[in-house]
């Protein structure tokens, strides 16, 4: 019997990472031919990437990339019509994947949501769309399972895919030596975001904030570039006198070596928490996007770490609060106060306990394989 075709899709760097791990787990359990939308990590995992992802965030950003998104949608739908996969595994990225799910469902394909969207934080009514278009929803936070089940979704809590996977391969001394830094001096690691739109909004503020920090504390700065980022662009524009290193493929080492981190809100905050690094969380989108999104927010926090904890553990500087002087103020508070760092680490330990045990991707694969077995026995 020939391999079972399975469409698997991710629309951003974190989804590419999760989907790549799931691809490996599925390939070890079933004879599958994986194809879809993704990035370099999915390619390395053996997925035939027929449409490279192009993640965009926000209303104005989506409008700018609309022709490209439409072409990608048409390509995936066409490939699905030709290959006839029994299931499609869609990873987060709801602005695109909810629409794709409708088109795939019309072909008789059963959709699985791997990493259900955070609709409990904004636009909770969209959980009903997941109920209509997805046969299974896999949740990475324990409280999400009840939220989605209450909306009628066949949901399962699998735990967070990063638990057991996030670890540094170098200690502070080794990382600083290799990066040309002084391990005895303070280190601040900066994660400006993986998307081009995030870096466009964040980097000018972060550069100025780092200069303000350096004026008070002679810190060294490490910019951790996400896979596929423009390293040369990240190296440019920093104020004179700052010691800045841009590293790629070293994010976990850079975070583990840091005295404090400034992190773009998203999956990176969970990674930082797993590495026990005190952080300041920042985020900004275009003003039209902010005006549209603000009325839709239902959660008291933006940062995943605070949402998981149910209280404020790390400072959030979002939109108008994301200013150079505020970033510098919160970063200096961590650098200058061992007590603040210790208190934050106690909160981060609580968050790690709530993320579930290791093995989330394996549990996801075990939940998906029966859907493939149903196809093999003609019980769809």
Residue 114, helix vs strand vs coil: strand
pLDDT of residue 121: 75
Verify that 221 and 256 share a domain, yes or no: yes
Verify that 337 and 218 share a domain, yes or no: yes
pLDDT of residue 286: 66
DSSP-assigned letter for residue 288: H
pTM for the structure as a whole: 0.83
pLDDT of residue 123: 79
Q: Tell me the residue range of the domain where 288 lies.
A: 172-354
Rounded distance between C-alpha atoms, residue 127 and residue 283, angstroms:
25
Mean pLDDT, rounded, of the chain: 91
Number of independent structural domains in the chain = 2
| Opening angle at CA 197, ends 277 and 168, nearest 5 | 25
C-beta of residue 29 within 8 angstroms of C-beta of residue 373? no
**Crossing angle of helices 196-216 and 324-336, rounded to 10°:** 50
pLDDT of residue 54: 64
Rounded distance between C-alpha atoms, residue 122 and residue 223, angstroms:
30
pLDDT of residue 269: 96
Ordered per-residue pLDDT tens for the chain, 380 residues: 799 999 999 998 889 999 999 999 999 999 999 999 999 999 999 999 999 886 544 444 555 667 888 899 999 999 999 999 999 999 999 989 999 999 999 999 999 999 999 888 777 889 999 999 999 999 999 889 999 999 999 999 999 999 999 999 999 999 999 999 999 999 999 999 877 788 888 999 999 999 999 999 999 999 999 877 888 889 999 999 999 999 999 999 999 999 999 999 988 999 999 999 999 999 987 666 555 556 555 567 889 999 999 899 999 999 999 999 999 999 999 999 999 999 999 999 999 999 999 999 999 999 999 999 765 555 44
Verify that 130 and 64 share a domain, yes or no: yes
Verify that 311 and 333 share a domain, yes or no: yes
Rounded distance between C-alpha atoms, residue 143 and residue 149, angstroms:
10
Q: Which residues pair with 224 in a beta bridge?
A: 247
DSSP secondary structure letters along 120-155: TTB-GGGHHHHHHH-SEEEESSHHHHHHHHHTT--E
| End-to-end Cα distance, the chain | 18
Verify that 331 and 187 share a domain, yes or no: yes
DSSP-assigned letter for residue 294: G
Verify that 205 and 230 share a domain, yes or no: yes
| Opening angle at CA 187, ends 186 and 193, nearest 5 | 150
C-beta of residue 77 within 8 angstroms of C-beta of residue 100? yes
Rounded distance between C-alpha atoms, residue 290 and residue 197, angstroms:
14
Q: What is the CATH number of the domain that holds 264?
A: 3.40.50.2000
pLDDT of residue 209: 98
Verify that 111 and 155 share a domain, yes or no: yes
Verify that 211 and 276 share a domain, yes or no: yes
pLDDT of residue 301: 83
pLDDT of residue 290: 58
Verify that 343 and 261 share a domain, yes or no: yes
Contacts from 243-249 at CB under 8 Å and sequence distance 24+? 243/181, 244/210, 245/179, 245/180, 245/181, 245/220, 245/221, 246/222, 247/179, 247/222, 247/223, 248/224
* Nearest partner of 191 among 327, 309, 358, 55, judged by Cα: 327
C-beta of residue 267 within 8 angstroms of C-beta of residue 230? no
Rounded distance between C-alpha atoms, residue 296 and residue 59, angstroms:
14
Verify that 154 and 181 share a domain, yes or no: no
Interval 316-333: pLDDT, tens: 999 999 999 999 999 999
Which residues fall within 8 angstroms of residue 374, CB to CB, at 6 or more apart? 86, 380
Cα 137 from chain centroid (whole Å):
18
Verify that 349 and 361 share a domain, yes or no: no
Verify that 184 and 313 share a domain, yes or no: yes
Helix (H) or strand (E) holding 137: strand 136-139
C-beta of residue 131 within 8 angstroms of C-beta of residue 153? yes
């Amino acid at each position: 019997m020939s391999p079972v075709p399975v469409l698997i899709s991710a629309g951003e760097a974190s989804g590419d990472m999760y989907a790549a791990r799931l691809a490996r787990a599925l390939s070890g359990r079933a004879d599958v031919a994986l194809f879809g939308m993704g990035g370099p990590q999915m390619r390395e995992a053996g997925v035939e990437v027929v449409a490279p992802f192009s993640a965009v965030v926000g209303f104005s950003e989506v409008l700018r990339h609309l022709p490209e998104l439409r072409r990608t949608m048409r390509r995936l739908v066409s490939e699905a019509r030709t290959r006839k996969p029994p299931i499609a595994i869609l990873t987060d990225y709801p602005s695109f994947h909810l629409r794709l799910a409708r088109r795939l469902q019309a072909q008789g394909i059963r959709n699985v949501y791997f990493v259900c969207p955070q609709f409990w934080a904004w636009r909770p009514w969209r959980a009903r769309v997941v109920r209509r278009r997805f046969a299974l929803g896999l949740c990475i936070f324990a409280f999400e399972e009840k939220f989605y089940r209450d909306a009628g979704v066949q949901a399962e809590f699998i735990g967070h895919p990063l638990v057991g996977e996030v670890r540094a391969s170098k200690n502070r001394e080794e990382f600083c030596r290799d990066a040309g830094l002084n391990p005895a001096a303070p280190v601040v690691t900066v994660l400006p975001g993986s998307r081009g739109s995030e870096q466009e909004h964040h980097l000018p503020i972060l550069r100025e904030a780092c200069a303000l920090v350096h004026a008070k504390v002679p810190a060294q700065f490490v910019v951790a570039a996400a896979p596929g980022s423009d390293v040369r662009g990240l190296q440019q524009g920093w104020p004179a006198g700052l010691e800045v290193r841009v590293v790629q493929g070293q994010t976990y080492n850079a975070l583990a070596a840091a005295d404090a981190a400034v992190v773009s809100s998203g999956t990176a905050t969970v990674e930082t928490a797993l590495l026990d690094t005190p952080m300041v969380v920042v985020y900004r989108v275009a003003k039209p996007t902010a005006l549209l999104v603000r009325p839709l927010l239902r959660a008291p926090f933006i940062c995943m770490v605070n949402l998981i904890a149910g209280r404020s553990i790390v400072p959030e500087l979002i939109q108008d609060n994301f200013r150079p002087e505020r970033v510098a103020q919160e970063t200096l508070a961590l650098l200058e106060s061992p007590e603040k760092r210790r208190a934050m680490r106690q909160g981060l330990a609580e968050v790690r306990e709530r993320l579930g045990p290791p093995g989330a991707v394996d549990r996801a694969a075990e939940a998906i394989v029966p859907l493939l077995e149903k196809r093999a026995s003609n019980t769809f």
